[in-house]
Structure 1
Amino acid sequence: MTTVTIVLMGAVTFALRFCFFGPLKPERLPGGIERALPYVMPAVLMAIIVPSVVLAPAPDDGPGWLSPYLVGALVGFGVGVFKKDNFFLVFASAVAAFALAKFLL
């Protein structure tokens, strides 16, 4: 049953995306869509990251607002402000800050 559900979900996702982008040729995308495409990836990442940071459990012995998830997100954001084109540096710094905060807090 799980396999059937996964296959059906994939088929529905493909059908929805094909209906929107399939009939169009790449050079004929409307201008509004062309301008919006660079913002898709950051919006999806924010939709994934923000709930896990905001709803993260607070550490038992530290301040209630300071969780390792928040520390990692803030460090990743701070590094990303200065190094916009270096994804691996931003990712590695966020993971390292999360691990260090998890160890210290």
Structure 2
Amino acid sequence: MTIVLMGAATFALRFCFFGPLNAERMPARVEQALPYVMPAVLMAIIVPSVILAPSPGDGPGWLSPYLVGAGVGFGVGAVKKDNFFLVFASAVVAFALAKFLL
């Protein structure tokens, strides 16, 4: 019941802000900023967990599997910008290898 009520509250809050807007009346600045919302939210979620991840044993902090996976994913994403699945798969594989090898 709590999940349903929180979902309804979240929907209501978002609908009150975006519901009345028509696509024709949306300001140009807001429309230009919309493609950056998803990467900004993902960065807000991912960066703290990568930066604050514990290092393996007594090794250096830069050998953290989270940091290795994020670095590989970022590097592949810088080269292959339009291939989400390749970026995601490379980050997961790098994380898994670093987790098992370190």
Both proteins in one fold, TM over 0.5: yes
Within the alignment, does 1:81 sit opposite 2:78 as a pair?
yes
Q: 1:95 aligns with which of 89, 92, 95?
A: 92
Shift of 1:79: 0.4
Give the secondary-structure state (helix, strand or coil) at the position aligned to 2:63: coil
Identity %: 84
The number of residues matched between the two structures is 102
Tell me which residue corresponds to 1:33: 30
**Residues 51-66 of structure 1: pairs in structure 2 closer than 5 A:** 51-66=48-63
Indicate the larger mover: 93-102 or 9-18.
Answer: 9-18
| Residues 21-69 of structure 1, C-alpha deviations (whole Å, 9 max, x = no match) | 1111122211121011000010111011111101111101422332000
CA distance, structure 1, for counterparts of residue 72 and residue 78 of structure 2: 10
Q: Which residue of 2 aligns with 1:46?
A: 43
Q: Show structure 2 runs of 5+ residues with no match.
A: none
Alpha-carbon RMSD across the aligned residues, in angstroms, is: 1.1
Between the aligned partners of 1:29 and 1:82, the Cα distance in structure 2 is: 33
Normalising by the residue count of structure 2, what TM-score does the alignment of the two structures yield? 0.93
The equivalent residue for 1:7 is 4
Give the 3-state SS of the residue equivalent to 2:61 in structure 1. Answer: coil
Which ranges in structure 1 are unaligned for 5 or more consecutive residues? none
Task: Tell me the amino acid that sits aligned with residue 101 of structure 2.
Answer: L
Provide runs of 4+ in structure 1 moved above 6 Å.
Answer: none
